[in-house]
A and B are shown apart, each in its own frame.
Chain A
Amino acid sequence: MSQILPTAEPFFFPGSGKNAKIGCLVQHGFTGTPKEVRWLGEYLNGRGYAVCGMRLTGHATQPEDMIRSRYPDWLASVEDGFNLLRSSCEQVFLLGLSMGGILSLTSASRLPVKGVVAMSTPYNLPADPRLKYLKLISKFIPFMPKGKGEPGHGWFDKDVWKQHVAYPENPVRSIAELNALLVIMRASLPNVKVPVLIIHSRNDDYVIKGSMDAIYDAIGSTDKQKMWVEGGGHVITEEPTRHVVFKAAAEFVERVSRT
């Protein structure tokens, strides 16, 4: 009688060897689940890092649970993961996909993290006159379809798409929360002073094209890099882009943890 969707459960992999006291919080995105960053977590744990993949409030159970959640709950879930890692690690890195990246960057302006990897992270939502009325609309229309076209649209690897777990539609009330969270993120970026690596896919249909530059320009850190990947859609931690992404993330953590 599990409430959490099977295979989408949160996870904790203790560290080993010389990297045991360095923790990586891998954070999933909007309507997603820890599963979409589990391979990233396993890769990092293979290098000895302690890894935690938290489940955001309202996610990975049933879509109705997400409607009740608010963006401070999601920030608190990230803070939970940070604290769980910090009780056994000396340094904590935040690595987030999509809204997980938004949460990671925002949290980096508030918590003593060592560095951030933000993947497929939006800077803002596409302009839409309905955005101002989302809370009202949500009382009549609870869910909105995701994206365009047939199922699996935007994914390069259809087999990987088939094992991907996420809510089938976007809760309208939650889009309002996402929008509010983005306002907070944009205001927080100048206060992010730790090293940041931003990774986006050229083939990402969800994120507005100028997002990586906008985030990069706004971040306060002096140690910041942008990286493009190709051959994968939005979920670069599961698509064929993942191998390049994992390697870059691990090298970033390796380099920054030595400073």
Chain B
Amino acid sequence: MRGMGEYLNRQGFTVCGIRLAGHATQPADMLRVRWRDWLASVEDGYHLLRSCTDEIYLAGLSLGGMLALTFASRFPVAGVIAMSTPYSHPTDGRLKFARLLGWFKPYLPKGGGPGSGWFGDVWKEHVAYPAYPVRSLGELGQLMDVLHAALLQVKSPVLLISSRNDHPRICQSMEKIHARLGSADKQMVWIDGSGHTITEEPQREIVFQTATEFIFRLNPTGL
């Protein structure tokens, strides 16, 4: 998210990039965290910004988008930008048993070879855990249920951005989220030529520009 943060900061916005609980350290740290901890991390970022700004926008990628939308159903935010955000569970009956299965097989390898699903070379610099902690997939599933219930309560303006070249489930997700959002001001924008991580992929500048235009539209007197 750093590239997006730097772009927004160059437009004059104050930016905070918060680290979700259990992330960016070592995979074993993620086994202990629950979806409520991720939501609390977002709440941390919100309060850090609130102590030095007047209005707050949340921009989230993937799980970040799920968290941003869930958060917006509970707190007054000026707007949400949800990118590559999933709506539905994978059709895998084992997800319900993630807690139990996680005892035996803590990690699930990420699909495809290195760079699979990515366009260009930027995947080589991308930093992420190499595998999915199974316990965390269970948490993701629970958060999805929370998200479904929360969407109707979201009233802030929302911008949804997804890539046509992402996993089909994510592509279908954007329409489902759009349909269920309580907001009056909501839009969908499609990106081409990029995989899932649209904030790093070749079309990222378009993502950043679209997000900036969204914020400026809601803030015409601006900066």
The residues of A with any CB-CB pair to B shorter than 8 Å are: 1-4, 9-14, 52, 54-55, 57, 61, 65, 68-70, 72-73, 76, 80, 84
Contact = CB atoms under 8 A, between A and B. Distances in A.
Nearest to A73: B29
Contact of A14 (B18, B22, B32, B52): B52
Interface of B: 16, 18-19, 21-22, 25, 29, 32-34, 36-37, 39-40, 43-44, 47-52, 74-75
A72 B29 CA distance: 9
B182 to A, nearest CB: 15
By Cβ-Cβ distance, the 7 closest A-B pairs, closest first, are: A9-B47, A1-B74, A11-B51, A12-B48, A3-B40, A10-B44, A68-B32
Given A12-B49, A72-B25, A84 B16 contact: yes
Contacts of A73: 21-22, 29, 32
Contacts of A65: 36-37, 40
A68 B22 CA distance: 11
A4 B25 contact: no
8 contacts: A2-B74, A3-B36, A4-B47, A10-B47, A12-B48, A12-B52, A52-B48, A84-B48
A57 B25 CA distance: 13
A76 B25 contact: yes
A70 B48 CA distance: 23
Given A68-B32, A76-B25, A80-B19, A3 B39 contact: yes
A55 B18 CA distance: 12
Nearest to A11: B51
Given A1-B74, A68-B34, A76-B25, A13 B52 contact: yes
A256 to B, nearest CB: 25
B21 A57 contact: yes
A70 B52 CA distance: 30
Contacts of B52: 12-14
A70 B32 contact: yes
Contacts of A3: 36, 39-40, 43
A56 to B, nearest CB: 11
Given A12-B51, A84-B48, A2 B29 contact: no
A4 B40 contact: yes
Contacts of B32: 68-70, 73
Nearest to A70: B32
Contacts of A2: 43, 74-75
